Amino acid sequence: MLRVLSELSVGPSSAILCATHPDRPNTVLAVKAFARSTIKRDDGVSQRLLRERCAHEQLSQQTHDNIVSYVGFYSDAKLFCLAMEYVSGGDLFTKLMTCGPMDEVSMRQPAFEVCSALGHLHSLDFVHLDLKTENILITAQGRHKLADYGSCVRLRRPEERDEPPAPVLLNDIIGTPETMAPEVILQHPVCEMADWWSYGCVVYEMLTAESPFYDADNLEIPHLIQRIARCEFFVFPNASMFSGAIVDLVQSLLVRSPSLRLGARPNGELAVVGHPWFNNITQQQTGSGNLNPLLQEGATVEQQPTHVGGGGLLDMPYVFADAQMPAGEELMTAICAHSQPITGIAGWRSSI
């Protein structure tokens, strides 16, 4: 059972809460709570919740230092709750808005850690589809963890396991406009290459604290989407202010054709971390070729909560394109499956 302690933030369809679990009473958890009334009114919210729960259930089977740990799924007569580890350092977007752009040396670690998280997702045939600085959380030790899997899709791998999974055709546009890949906007089949485009946007934002497609003269979303959809090869503005390596990294990621984008199959993550920018920064910071700071002698990693709940969804068909999503009562049944009870929320839920 979860015991909810306080409210952190409230969005249009969910709230983020602090909570504890009896098995770990001294560990604060982050809980994303959805009102059942909202779920019943809006199939889009229902599908997002099911996508996120299913992705967490699968990812919890193979944990990763740069992915937010899943604790369990809980429900009662009014709420559905996803419980995850609480990451106390805020998010990268807030840090950039507060402190301004990062220099190339200090951004090497977060850039690598996000790349590592994506590589892990892709190795399990997942595509995040909503990578942005708001979804990169920072631990008390300064490590970075990828969060929010409500847009996540899992590609269908052929029976021949040595064959790559096929791209999936989405029934709707998924993600955030500022970091959305052209193939998502154009509703072409998508694969993990959509995440490498978004990763290029995140690297650019770390360096400049702006979206690569930001236009001060026209802030309308349709204009932004048109600029992305028409972009064949991104031209880095004010390139002379930065190293040639970082400019090349961003421009190699922001390529309209997925097959020409850095990170394209079959090399994926290895092609990205093998880019000279990572090598140059690694040599400056560590004097070694070991890219992973989590493997450096003396590195510390925030202890993750154990997986104390959930389970039971592993027999579901994990191809999350809308065409495969359940609907109506079947959708509600899938969301409710194998949930655990909630206690201690009487004061909070009066506000929903």
Average pLDDT over residues 12-17: 82
pTM of the model as a whole: 0.81
Return the closest-CA partner of residue 84 out of 33, 129, 36, 118.
Answer: 33
Return the closest-CA partner of residue 107 out of 298, 295, 284, 268.
Answer: 284
CA 74 – CA 342 distance, rounded (Å)? 6
**What is residue 334's predicted lDDT score, i.e. its pLDDT?**
60
**What is residue 247's predicted lDDT score, i.e. its pLDDT?**
95
Residue 80 has pLDDT above 50, yes or no: yes
**What is residue 314's predicted lDDT score, i.e. its pLDDT?**
34
CA atoms within 13 A on the CB side of 9: 6
Annotated catalytic residue, options 130, 148, 172, 322: 130
**How close are the terminal C-alpha atoms of the chain, in Å?**
20
Question: pLDDT tens-digit profile of 336-347?
Answer: 665 666 654 433
Cite the residue boundaries of each domain of the chain with CATH code 1.10.510.10: 92-295
Q: Are 166 and 156 in contact (CB under 8 A)?
A: yes
- At 136, list the tokens: 């990169």
Q: Which residues pair with 85 in a beta bridge?
A: 29
Return the closest-CA partner of residue 113 out of 137, 83, 96, 129.
Answer: 137
Question: pLDDT tens-digit profile of 171-230?
Answer: 777 889 999 999 999 999 999 999 999 999 999 999 999 999 988 888 888 888 999 988
CA 228 – CA 182 distance, rounded (Å)? 6
* Domain at 92-295, CATH class: mainly alpha
Cite the residue boundaries of each domain of the chain with CATH code 3.30.200.20: 2-87+304-345
Phi then psi dihedrals of residue 196, to 5 deg = -70, -30
Reported residue count of the chain is 352
Return the closest-CA partner of residue 91 out of 14, 202, 4.
Answer: 202
**What is residue 294's predicted lDDT score, i.e. its pLDDT?**
32
Q: What percent of the chain has pLDDT over 90?
A: 38
Higher pLDDT, 73 or 291: 73
Average pLDDT over residues 132-154: 93
CA 153 – CA 2 distance, rounded (Å)? 28
- At 125, list the tokens: 């045939």
3 state SS of 15: strand
Q: What is the DSSP string of 258-300?
A: GGGSTT-TTTTHHHHHTSHHHHHHHHHHHSSS---GGGSTT--
Q: What is the DSSP string of 296-317?
A: STT---PPPPP--S----TTS-
pLDDT band (50, 70, 90) for residue 28: confident
Under CATH, which number does the domain 2-87+304-345 receive?
A: 3.30.200.20
Phi then psi dihedrals of residue 324, to 5 deg = -100, -5
**What is residue 26's predicted lDDT score, i.e. its pLDDT?**
83
Question: pLDDT tens-digit profile of 289-310?
Answer: 333 333 232 323 233 333 333 3
3 state SS of 21: strand
Q: Is 42 a catalytic residue?
A: no
Min mean pLDDT across 1-15, 134-148, 169-183, 229-243 is at: 1-15
